[in-house]
A and B are shown apart, each in its own frame.
Chain A
């Protein structure tokens, strides 16, 4: 049988499978099936594929769909009131360009007249001030307050309490008013548009001042209160990369029931149990806005106790942390975990940056220096000891000077990828609630990675019992075709990807396949080359699993 004949037969078999052949063709195909084992195999293969597609689950349309359409129709009817009713009449094809041109001209006039002439908040990137600066208040963005001053409020928000939001305390973003035309688009379009989280702390790492301010403005536009604070840590030597903890909270408090109601109402908002509350991630501005403006019920607004906290079953992050902040970040994380969670921290250097070397990226030597910086952890306090930084940088520099070491480290990490995935990522149940005494998987022998791993382990062990393992740093660039799994839902929150698994067991099963976690977000977005230089960075992968037996 020639190739063409085989193709024709297969096409006929496909149609035969669907009952779409004419009687004569059907008889011919049936005859072929009787005579040819290959035809039977082909039919079986096609049938299997068709069955697999048919077996895909179907979902009912979200309730919100009908509502949205009805709202739009109502809006359209409102607009049409006084002019006409019903769907648009047909416009002659020749008239369309003229109508389009007229519309453009009209829009231009309207936009020109509507252009605001008031002062607009803009951000002075150089003023990354954490102190309040009343002289830079703007009409649109309330005055800044010390970041440290909102810590109490942060805990309130996290507990989901019913206290009214304290509007007197405002975020400490240095905002400067300038007399210039309002960049309305800046306010309306936020780069992190998909990442408004309701009522959960979100760490924005390496966030720029302008990004933070944009988020602030955007949150306010959505009636979300906006808190920003710095994790308790030594001042970062790279202020532009300082880590912030941001909490976005609907001004009207809501509890978990309300959150679930939101989820039911707004299907595009995804429920995730994170930390102490169920979090609704809104992927679009409109969803966040809608969720934020959804009224709470009387019971909740009456001040009844919020629903008890939800607990995550398992949670995994990967995050690029500025080297200088890595220790502080981990310390803060472990402090918040408060021995309720088991953390497994892996670390590495963003592979793409390491491979890129110069040209705006991070050279291997810099990357090693970044890792070496993490050695500055103090066992007891979990804080960095910056005074030792220089000597460690010197050591790291010496190590980096050895020819071939970068490749060796990467290769070692590659080799350990499977091990790290299978064994190290999944927390060892026996290690829960007891000190582990440092890293448990220092595979990159002789490298900065090993010592840094132990130090990172000690950092976290200082506040919580954490097994630490070495990480997979290499090969990210070649792993674009990663295998994702349906039970893990990655969520892009700013510069950070959250990966959430429904259960510890699911995550453990997945652990063999999550080496793609270490693919930097920027690389995935194809923005690696265009990404601004963020300085040395350490990539951390954190797995958070609640103690105790798995729910299953």
Chain B
């Protein structure tokens, strides 16, 4: 091992790596594709139901980011989120014939995602073994974020810590509350859409969001009430 050149190489290699990773991470929250072209969706769904995989692939392309992020917020591990997102799309494909277009495709897809995610969480609880990564906060089980090197390390750590704490708290609250909070605060959906996705009345959505925030507050501050 030669120490001299390695220092240079390290920064090059690591730098490249981080840049690549950075390109996969977005700057901040973004609105779910509420303004997705519903008419276009309908047409694509119609074609997909007739067996047009390309049409369905277009739908996948369109919704993979919000679906993945939804899964990411509900699953603990990125790879679980990836698997789950894949499952969601495949389940959607298989269930297309049951899609009656009473809601938008997006809402219907989210409902599948939420149900699948909650099922996964229930299954997780029954597992005997746990990975060391269980309970890891944001990014912990994954690669280090590149963003930390674009800001001073101290600040980066603070940001990481904050995100980690929030993600960990989010992971700790009740599944029903988390789903509602994620759909509201992460995905930016309104109560009516959330109610349609969760299959509950709007009043229940209001209550779950409030209780979820309340629980988060307690976890993040250690305070009661």
Contacts and interface: CB of A to CB of B under 8 A. Distances in A.
B20 A260 contact: yes
A526 B217 contact: no
Interface string B204-221: 001101100110110010
Given A88-B94, A490-B132, A497-B132, A53 B6 contact: no
Given A69-B57, A313-B14, 19 more contacts: A45-B217, A49-B220, A50-B184, A52-B216, A55-B163, A58-B25, A58-B186, A65-B86, A73-B93, A84-B51, A87-B94, A270-B143, A311-B7, A485-B140, A486-B139, A486-B140, A487-B139, A505-B153, A525-B131
Interface string B1-14: 10101110111011
Interface in A307-323: 307-311, 313
A527 interface: yes
A509 B154 CA distance: 9
A524 interface: yes
A484 interface: yes
B207 A57 contact: no
Contacts of A551: 10-11, 14
6 contacts: A60-B25, A64-B82, A85-B51, A87-B96, A263-B17, A485-B164
Contacts of B217: 45-46, 48-49
Contact of A287 (B61, B79, B186): B79
List 6 tightest A-B contacts by C-beta distance, closest first: A86-B51, A61-B68, A85-B51, A14-B210, A486-B164, A308-B9
Find the residue from A273, A486, A505, A521 having the highest chain B CB count within 10 A: A486
Nearest to A70: B57
A273 B144 CA distance: 11
Contact of B85 (A61, A74, A90): A61
Given A11-B206, A14-B209, A509-B157, A62 B68 contact: yes
A89 interface: yes
Chain A interface residue bracket vs B: 35 or more
Interface string B46-58: 0011111100110
B contacts with A: majority SS: helix
A14 B206 contact: yes
A55 B28 contact: yes
B90 A72 contact: yes
A484 B50 CA distance: 49
Interface of A: 10-11, 14-15, 18, 20, 45-46, 48-50, 52-62, 64-66, 68-70, 72-74, 76-77, 84-90, 194, 256, 260, 263-264, 267-268, 270-271, 273, 276, 278, 283-284, 287, 307-311, 313, 338, 340, 484-492, 497, 502-503, 505-506, 509, 521, 524-527, 546-548, 551-552
A52 to B, nearest CB: 5
A306 B54 CA distance: 40
A65 B68 contact: yes
A176 B164 CA distance: 49
Interface residues of B, number: 98
Contacts of A270: 142-143
A85 B93 CA distance: 12
B28 A15 contact: no
Contacts of A60: 24-26, 65, 68
Nearest to B185: A53
B131 A308 contact: no
B191 interface: yes
A54 B185 contact: yes
